[in-house]
Amino acid sequence: MVEEYLKADDQGSGYVLTRTAEQVFYPLIEKQLKVDPIDVNWLSGGSQDDPVIRDKALDLVKRCYENALAFLEDIDVWEVEYEATGMLPGCEVPVKAFVDIVGEHKKHGPVIVDWKSGKQKPKNNLQLETYAALLNTSTPLSGNDHPFTDHGSLKFDVGLWAMVNPDAPNARPVKGLTEVDASALGARYQAAYEQIKKKVWKAQAGFHCRFCVQAPNCLIESPGTKRATYYDRSEDEGYPF
């Protein structure tokens, strides 16, 4: 809905969303019903005792959307879903990155924005730091400048977690992104890549397993089942269970 809203503005039709939340939401529901007609089986937010489903989910969509629009009031949006994929020093593979919003904030100047629909902001700023390193120091894979950095002279120092969930506290701006050490970051990604090459998969079971489509195939979440025993080859392939 946010992207549709911004596109409408881009085409000069003003900030007008032509479809209501219901018109956006119901076709998605219809599609999902074909996969599993029992909607309470679907993954959902909220707690297990009080899942965010049905009317509650639609209501949350509306409230998140309102918050997103309020957030955008202060930003001149330059790019949506901008591909900042590029090389970082010391890392032999490109780091993939798609930045939700790149633009100029009324108060903070050039900003990198990442939408967050959960109630908590991320535990660390790695995602924003990576985006900043890619925008501030690296050449995108296309070899051209980023279209908005004025040949590298414009730097991004501030990142914003755009907390759209009405129950989430606002997150403070993440400042000092021009100080991010791109070489240290590159070394960190390279170290992860070395692990991947050695086939060391550090599976960390946790809350996210609830949302993982591989759970039925994973021995951590489905220990001893015929299916997980068949599909989960991590022991043969390197992961030290």
Site of interaction with ligand SF4 (CB under 6 A): 203, 205, 208-209, 212, 214-215, 218, 220-221
**Whole-number minimum distance, CB 210 to ligand SF4, in Å?**
9
Q: How many CB atoms lie within 10 A of CB 29?
A: 14
Of 58 and 215, which CB lies nearer to ligand SF4 in the complex structure? Answer: 215
**Whole-number minimum distance, CB 183 to ligand SF4, in Å?**
30
- List, in sequence order, every residue forming a beta bridge with 174; answer none if it has no partner: 159
Of 136 and 222, which CB lies nearer to ligand SF4 in the complex structure? Answer: 222
**Whole-number minimum distance, CB 69 to ligand SF4, in Å?**
33
Of 118 and 166, which CB lies nearer to ligand SF4 in the complex structure? Answer: 118
Q: How many CB atoms lie within 10 A of CB 36?
A: 10
User: Which residue in the block uniquely carries the two structure tokens 């403070």?
Assistant: 172
Cα separation of 152 and 91, whole Å? 21
Of 16 and 213, which CB lies nearer to ligand SF4 in the complex structure? Answer: 213
**Whole-number minimum distance, CB 233 to ligand SF4, in Å?**
12
Of 107 and 208, which CB lies nearer to ligand SF4 in the complex structure? Answer: 208
Cα separation of 198 and 143, whole Å? 30
Cα separation of 168 and 187, whole Å? 33
Token pair for 208 = 């996210």
E strand or H helix that includes residue 209 = none
**Whole-number minimum distance, CB 57 to ligand SF4, in Å?**
23
Closest alpha carbon to 80 in 57, 103, 64:
103
